[in-house]
Amino acid sequence: MCPTDYENDELIFMDEEDQEQEQNEAASGTWNVLVVDDDEEIHSVTRLALSDLVLNGKSLTFHHAYSGAEALEFLTERGHEIAVLLLDVVMESDDAGLQVAKKMRDELHLEEPRIILRTGQPGYAPEESVIKEYDINDYKTKTELTRSKLVTTIIASLRSYQQILTINQSRKGLEKIIGSAANLLEEHSVKGFCEGVVEQISSLIGLDAGGVLCARAGSVLDKEEDGVYVLGAAGDFASYINERLESIHNDKIVMQVTQCLQKKEHIFGDDYSVLYMDSSGYEAAVFIQAGNDISEVDRQLLEVFLSSVSVGYENVNLFHQLRNAAFRDWLTKLPNRNEFINMLDDLNRTDNDFDADIIALIDINHFSDINDGLGQEAGNKLLIAVSERLQNQFDERVMMARIGADVFGLIGADADIAPDKIDAIFNVPFKAGDHTLPVNITIGLTRLLESASGINVLKQTNIALNRAKKSLTCNYEYYAPEMEEKTTWRLGMIRQLRSDFADRRLEVWFQPQIDLMTEEVVGMEALLRWPNREGGYISPAVFVPLAEYSGLIIDIGEWVLEESCLKLKQLQDLGHDKLRVAVNISMPQFRDPLFVANVKNTVKDTGIPAANLELEITESLVMDEPQIVVEALKDLKSSGIQIAIDDFGTGFSSMSYLQQLPLDRLKVDRAFVNEIEPGKQAFIAETIVTLGQKLGLKTIAEGVEKKEQAAYMLKLGCDEAQGYMYAKPMPFDELITFLSEYKP
Q: Which residues bind Mg ion (CB under 5 A)?
A: 584, 616, 646-647, 702
Closest CB 582 distance from Mg ion, rounded Å? 7
544 binds, among ligand C2E, Mg ion, none (CB under 5 to 8 A by kind): ligand C2E
User: 406 or 647: whose CB is closer to ligand C2E?
Assistant: 647
Closest CA to 582 of 639, 649, 512, 651: 512
Q: Using the rule CB under 6 A, which residue among 310, 371, 513, 586 binds ligand C2E? A: 586
Beta strand segments in 449-572, E: 476-478, 507-515, 521-531, 537-538
DSSP 280-310: TTEEEEEEES--TTS-HHHHHHHHHHHHHHH
DSSP 584-635: E--HHHHHSTTHHHHHHHHHHHHT--GGGEEEEEEHHHHHHSHHHHHHHHHH
d(CA 677, CA 523): 27
d(CA 285, CA 274): 6
User: 461 or 618: whose CB is closer to Mg ion?
Assistant: 618
User: 339 or 616: whose CB is closer to Mg ion?
Assistant: 616
Total residues interacting with ligand C2E, rule: CB under 6 A: 25
According to the binding rule CB under 6 A, does residue 332 interact with ligand C2E? no
According to the binding rule CB under 6 A, does residue 512 interact with ligand C2E? no
d(CA 357, CA 457): 12
Closest CB 699 distance from ligand C2E, rounded Å? 14
d(CA 303, CA 325): 33
Residues 6+ apart with CB under 8 A from 5: none
Closest CB 645 distance from Mg ion, rounded Å? 9
**Residue 493 and residue 546 in contact, taking contact as beta carbons nearer than 8 Å:** yes
Closest CB 486 distance from ligand C2E, rounded Å? 19
According to the binding rule CB under 6 A, does residue 409 interact with ligand C2E? no
According to the binding rule CB under 6 A, does residue 729 interact with ligand C2E? yes
Q: Using the rule CB under 6 A, which residue among 163, 539, 570, 638 binds ligand C2E? A: 539
Contact region for ligand C2E (CB under 6 A) — 130-138, 322-330, 374-382, 534-542?
534-542
d(CA 511, CA 524): 5
**Single-letter amino acid, residue 133:** E
According to the binding rule CB under 6 A, does residue 511 interact with ligand C2E? yes
According to the binding rule CB under 6 A, does residue 513 interact with ligand C2E? no
User: 417 or 585: whose CB is closer to ligand C2E?
Assistant: 585
d(CA 435, CA 371): 12
DSSP 659: H
Q: Using the rule CB under 6 A, which residue among 97, 409, 557, 649 binds ligand C2E? A: 557
Closest CB 547 distance from ligand C2E, rounded Å? 8
Contact region for ligand C2E (CB under 6 A) — 29-37, 238-246, 331-339, 720-728?
720-728
Contact region for ligand C2E (CB under 6 A) — 481-489, 523-531, 591-599, 654-662?
523-531
Closest CB 475 distance from Mg ion, rounded Å? 26
Closest CA to 257 of 294, 223, 216, 221: 216
According to the binding rule CB under 6 A, does residue 619 interact with ligand C2E? no
Cα angle 343, 344, 350; round to 5: 90
User: 37 or 646: whose CB is closer to Mg ion?
Assistant: 646
- Give residues 461-500 in contact with ligand C2E (rule: CB under 6 A): none
According to the binding rule CB under 6 A, does residue 528 interact with ligand C2E? yes
User: 305 or 726: whose CB is closer to Mg ion?
Assistant: 726
Contact region for ligand C2E (CB under 6 A) — 236-244, 432-440, 581-589, 631-639?
581-589
Closest CB 497 distance from ligand C2E, rounded Å? 13
283 binds, among ligand C2E, Mg ion, none (CB under 5 to 8 A by kind): none
Closest CA to 531 of 503, 554, 557: 503
d(CA 524, CA 738): 12
Closest CA to 117 of 153, 76, 74, 83: 153
Residues 6+ apart with CB under 8 A from 385: 430, 431, 432
User: 140 or 698: whose CB is closer to ligand C2E?
Assistant: 698
Closest CB 370 distance from ligand C2E, rounded Å? 27
According to the binding rule CB under 6 A, does residue 68 interact with ligand C2E? no
* Rg (the chain; Cα; Å): 47
**Residue 65 and residue 96 in contact, taking contact as beta carbons nearer than 8 Å:** no
Q: Using the rule CB under 6 A, which residue among 364, 522, 527, 596 binds ligand C2E? A: 527
d(CA 211, CA 191): 17
d(CA 7, CA 243): 53
According to the binding rule CB under 6 A, does residue 143 interact with ligand C2E? no
User: 46 or 511: whose CB is closer to ligand C2E?
Assistant: 511
Distance of CA 731 to the CA centre of its chain: 57
Closest CB 676 distance from ligand C2E, rounded Å? 12
Q: What character string, x for contact with ligand C2E (CB under 6 A) and - otherwise, covers 669-708?
A: -x-------------------------------xxxx---
Q: Using the rule CB under 6 A, which residue among 403, 560, 565, 666 binds ligand C2E? A: 560
CB count within 10 Å of CB 166 equals: 15
Give kind and range of the element (H or E) at residue 672.
helix 670-674
d(CA 85, CA 430): 84
Closest CB 741 distance from Mg ion, rounded Å? 25
Closest CB 584 distance from Mg ion, rounded Å? 4
Q: Using the rule CB under 6 A, which residue among 109, 264, 470, 724 binds ligand C2E? A: 724
User: 527 or 636: whose CB is closer to ligand C2E?
Assistant: 527
Query: For the packed helices 296-327 and 337-346, what is the interaxial angle rounded to 10 degrees?
Result: 110
**733 three-class SS:** helix
d(CA 616, CA 123): 127
562 binds, among ligand C2E, Mg ion, none (CB under 5 to 8 A by kind): none
Please name every residue paired with 23 in a beta bridge, in sequence order, or none if there are none: none
Q: What are phi and psi of 451, to 5 degrees?
A: 60, 20
**Residue 478 and residue 400 in contact, taking contact as beta carbons nearer than 8 Å:** no
341 binds, among Mg ion, ligand C2E, none (CB under 5 to 8 A by kind): none
According to the binding rule CB under 6 A, does residue 709 interact with ligand C2E? no
Q: Using the rule CB under 6 A, which residue among 359, 544, 666, 682 binds ligand C2E? A: 544
User: 218 or 545: whose CB is closer to ligand C2E?
Assistant: 545
Q: Using the rule CB under 6 A, which residue among 446, 584, 612, 699 binds ligand C2E? A: 584
According to the binding rule CB under 6 A, does residue 514 interact with ligand C2E? no
d(CA 223, CA 219): 6
According to the binding rule CB under 6 A, does residue 532 interact with ligand C2E? no
d(CA 287, CA 276): 9
Query: For the packed helices 190-205 and 296-327, what is the interaxial angle rounded to 10 degrees?
Result: 170
Q: Using the rule CB under 6 A, which residue among 88, 692, 723, 730 binds ligand C2E? A: 723
Give kind and range of the element (H or E) at residue 582.
strand 580-584
d(CA 491, CA 52): 99
Contact region for ligand C2E (CB under 6 A) — 17-25, 221-229, 231-239, 718-726?
718-726
User: 74 or 509: whose CB is closer to Mg ion?
Assistant: 509
According to the binding rule CB under 6 A, does residue 411 interact with ligand C2E? no
User: 332 or 586: whose CB is closer to ligand C2E?
Assistant: 586
CB count within 10 Å of CB 422 equals: 23
d(CA 170, CA 738): 106
According to the binding rule CB under 6 A, does residue 646 interact with ligand C2E? yes
What residues line the site for ligand C2E (CB under 6 A)? 511, 526-528, 539-541, 544, 557, 560, 584-586, 616, 646-647, 670, 702-705, 722-724, 729
